[in-house]
Structure 1
Amino acid sequence: MRDQATAGYDKRDLRFAGANTRDLSFDFAKGVLIILVIIGHLLQSVIYRDTDSFWLSPYFMAIYMFHMPLFMAVSGYLSSGAILRKSFGQAVGDRAMQLLLPMVVWCALICALKSTFVSPPRSLSDELWDFSREFTGTYWFIWAAFASFLLIKFLITFSRLSMWIISASAVVVAFLPITLSIVPLARYTYAFFCLGFLFSSRPQLTSVIVRPELPLVVLLSTATCLCFLAWGRETYAYNNLVLVHNAQSARQVLLMFAGSAAASAVAMQFMFQCWRAGCSAKVVRFVAVGLGQSTLLLYLVQGAVFRLMDLIQFGQLWGLITRIVVASVLGVAIVVIAMTIRWMVRDLGYVSRLVGAPPRPGLLKKANS
């Protein structure tokens, strides 16, 4: 499967990837997806700031139909090596160091900056409460990815019927009636992590997405368009909380999962085609190597930027053109900040892991995600 997915790029990619077996087509997909994460937050925080109209924006809908589900599916696919090869303790410990430790550092930074600029000074209990909220909610996707990794590792460690149980767990978790904090988002994305993991262990399934037959492409594209047209405010997991309590909510939850799955498959195929066609172009390679291999750092940086933006009053009287210009500048600034941090710490070994930046190859063992 990996040979098929990476067909079309030459040996120069191995220099940039830093490993002889690194599949840059998946790095390219991750790079595109983190760009969409930033764009989605810019739409919400700058373009449609102080309004709820972003829920019905066609651009917002087009991004949010698939970007986080597909990100989670890719994470599940790339995590399969660590899940299958490592012991339970080592796998969970390594993943906690990779994901949770940088999140603690960035949440502490957010709280420190907020304490510096917010007046009057807050009490210690207020500071601790604020940190707990940042730690839980600001980077919900990291929690969802870690919990998904932990659950699947647990299932395959203690069960020989792991594939069937994992499939069943995706359904059970999705419909658990738990709405506390970020749990609905984790329940929503867990099914896609499972899907990515199962595809990684079934090359014949992966080939269906990597090189699908034309009728399947047409079917998935048609389903995506129909779901897009039916998508509404209550179709987002943020609003429906993945709860089924009547016929209407059941339709919305089903539409959300079906639309996300179809759109994710179409988007992944589109990105594979883009990689095959443009893998030699500098911009495409930067998306794969520069952004795709720094998605954790980019996610942490953009999360901090948008949380701190909530403290600033701006944009109420700005016109659309001004908002677009500001959003563009801010988006570029986020990428520049992240790439600068990566360059500064890439030779510092453990420090690079503290901030979520990929170390220079050879300094530390690379994680499989």
Structure 2
Amino acid sequence: MLDHITVGAKGRGLHPAETNNRNLSFDFAKGILITLVVVGHLLQYCIYRGTEAFWLSPYFKSIYIFHMPLFMAISGYLSSGAIFRKSFNQGIGDRATQLLLPMLFWCVLIWTLKSAVSFPTESLTKGLLDLSTEVVGTYWFIWAAFISFFLIRLFTTFGRLSIWIIGLSAIVVALAPVTFSITPLLRYTYPFYCVGFLSAQSVGWQNSIIWRNKWISLGLLSISAFICFLWWGKDTYAYNNLVLIEDGKSFKQVFLMFAGSAAASAVAMQFMFQCWRIVYSTRMAHFVAVELGQGTLLLYLVQGAVFRLMDLINFGDVWDLTTRIAFASAVGVAIVVIAMAIRRVTRDLGYVSRIVVGAPPRPSLPKSQSVTNLAT
């Protein structure tokens, strides 16, 4: 979800990016992933609203098996430049301004609108408790991304030991028996952030080891992902198993979750790169990369607000499947249109843009200048 530059590596230590060329293949992947975030929530809050059937939906599983882990891995990969270009305090401060400030704005907006509807039926104490719930839970991925960035930036201060410390921290965080609030979701996604970041530091090993037999590797990963998908159940989601290992059964679910997410994420990433190579010159690809991929933070904020406010809508018995699908389609389109409108309106409004969007959005590049180095 973060603005990025194409990262590279030099030698065996940790190094900042050597180029400021933006790689639109990553934007294209992010654009697809944020679309899947919206679709997944449409399935949960519209199509399967009022039931728990979405946990077993093949469409829901197909999305949730990889979309947030891959999003976090991409964020880790692209964070390399931001981590090394700035001092510790400046880097953390800038990332907090970019992520937490707009998140607080949208949480207050959600709380205000919901309070206006329920006023004066709720007490002030209940209202403040609801606000704290919005701040912590509605945008959990932003908290996970910020905390992951903070930890990685902290660990990079240990010089050549950093790579080992970061790798060890991924295991420790994943296995830590902490289930308070959103910590299970952080423990689930943080290892993928670490993998993404470490991959950016040693691109050579990917070419020399894994991708030397690329199609064989992808075939094995695809088979693994498919097997995990077949075994995937309600208790395999981090929301339900809390990434907590208590016995053999819970170990199986947690292992299946991490293995399935890792395999599916690798396959999905390569699939999206291949798609980009084929369609990069089309208007649709440009729209996905520039309008969606470079606006993932705003889209995430807008869709979060829309789905939280949807709690105020009573679907009732008259909402049959056809009506739900039509309504879900309208909501999905509305989310994209609203986000694009906000982006354009706030683009030149300085602090308003920083508060609402996170940072002044990048100006769109001419199509002829959009194509940069393709990821391999």
Same fold judged by TM-score > 0.5? yes
Q: Distance in 1 between matches of 2:337 and 2:27?
A: 18
The equivalent residue for 1:116 is 116
* Counterpart amino acid of residue 353 in structure 1: R
Distance change in 2, residues 1:247/1:173 (3 Å): same
Corresponding position of 2:317: 316
2:134 paired with 1:134: yes
**TM-aligned CA deviation for residue 128 of structure 1:** 1.7
- d(CA) in 2 for partners of 1:96, 1:327: 33
Please say if residues 7 and 80 of structure 2, whose CA atoms lie closer than 8 Å, have aligned partners that are also in contact.
no
Note if contact 2:155-2:165 (Cα within 8 Å) is conserved in structure 1: yes
The Cα of 1:129 is off from its aligned counterpart by: 1.4
Aligned partners of 1:163 and 1:198 also within 8 Å: yes
Distance between the aligned counterparts of 1:98 and 1:239, measured in 2?
30
SS of the residue 1:272 aligns to: helix
Q: Normalization by structure 1: what TM-score?
A: 0.90
Partner in structure 1 of residue 340 of structure 2: 339
SS at match of 1:160: helix
SS in 1 for 2:49: coil
Within 5 Å, which residues of 2 pair with 1:166-181?
166-181=166-181
Alpha-carbon contact 2:7-2:200 (below 8 Å) kept: no
Q: 1:53 maps to which residue?
A: 53
Structure 2: gaps of 5 or more residues = 9-18, 364-376
Give the structure 2 partner of residue 367 of structure 1.
Answer: none
Deviation at 1:249, TM superposition (A): 0.4
8 Å contact kept, 1:107–1:134:
yes
Contact 2:56 2:233 in 1 (8 A): yes
Are residues 82 and 209 of structure 1, via their aligned partners in 2, closer, same or farther at CA, if it must alter by over 3 Å? Answer: farther
* Residue in 2 that maps onto 1:7: none
**Cα distance between partner residues in 1 of 2:51 and 2:26:** 35
Preserved CA contact (<8 Å) 1:342 1:358 = no
Q: What is the CA distance between 1:206 and its match in structure 2?
A: 4.5
Tell me by how many angstroms 1:157 deviates: 1.3
Counterpart contact for 1:244–1:250, Cα < 8 Å = yes
Alignment match, 2:101? 101
Mark the runs of 5 or more structure 1 residues left unpaired by the alignment: 5-18, 363-369
Which amino acid counterpart does residue 228 of structure 2 have in structure 1?
C
Q: 1:302·1:334 contact (CA, 8 Å) conserved in 2?
A: yes
More off after superposition, 83-92 vs 287-296: 83-92
How far apart, in 2, do the equivalents of 1:113 and 1:29 lie?
A: 33
2:74 matched residue in structure 1: 74
Task: Name the SS for the 2:312 alignment partner.
Answer: coil
Aligned letter for 1:122? E
Which residue of 2 is the match for residue 277 of structure 1?
Answer: 278
Deviates further, 309-318 or 180-189: 309-318
What value does the CA root-mean-square deviation take over the aligned residues? 2.0
Mapped partners of 1:20, 1:234: distance in 2: 43
Following superposition, the deviation at residue 130 of structure 1 comes to 1.3
Q: Percent identity?
A: 63
Q: Summarize the Cα distance change of 1:61–1:309 in structure 2 as closer, same or farther, 3 Å threshold.
A: same
1:289 and 2:310 matched:
no
DSSP 3-state at the match of 1:242: coil
| Alpha-carbon separation, structure 1, partners of 2:220 and 2:316 | 42
Residues 236 and 159 of structure 1, relative CA distance in 2, 3 Å threshold: same
Shift in alpha-carbon separation, 1:118–1:285, aligned structure 2, 3 A:
same
Are the structure 2 counterparts of residues 98 and 317 from structure 1 closer, same or farther at C-alpha, using a change threshold of 3 Å? same
Post-superposition Cα deviations, 1:120-143, rounded to whole Å, max 9, x if no partner, equal 343332222111110000000000
Show the counterpart of 1:225: 226
**CA deviation digits over 1:1-44, x for unaligned, max 9?**
9599xxxxxxxxxxxxxx96111000011100000000000000
Note closer, same or farther for the CA distance 1:210–1:155 as it changes in structure 2 (3 Å cut): same
Which amino acid letter does the alignment assign opposite residue 227 of structure 2?
A: L
Residue range with higher mean Cα deviation, 352-361 or 27-36: 352-361
**Conserved? CA contact 1:61–1:228, under 8 Å:** yes
Preserved contact between residue 346 and residue 357 of structure 1 (Cα < 8 Å): no
Distance 1:146 1:31 in 2: 20
Structure 1 position 211, deviation (Å):
8.4
Change (3 A) 1:231 1:131: same
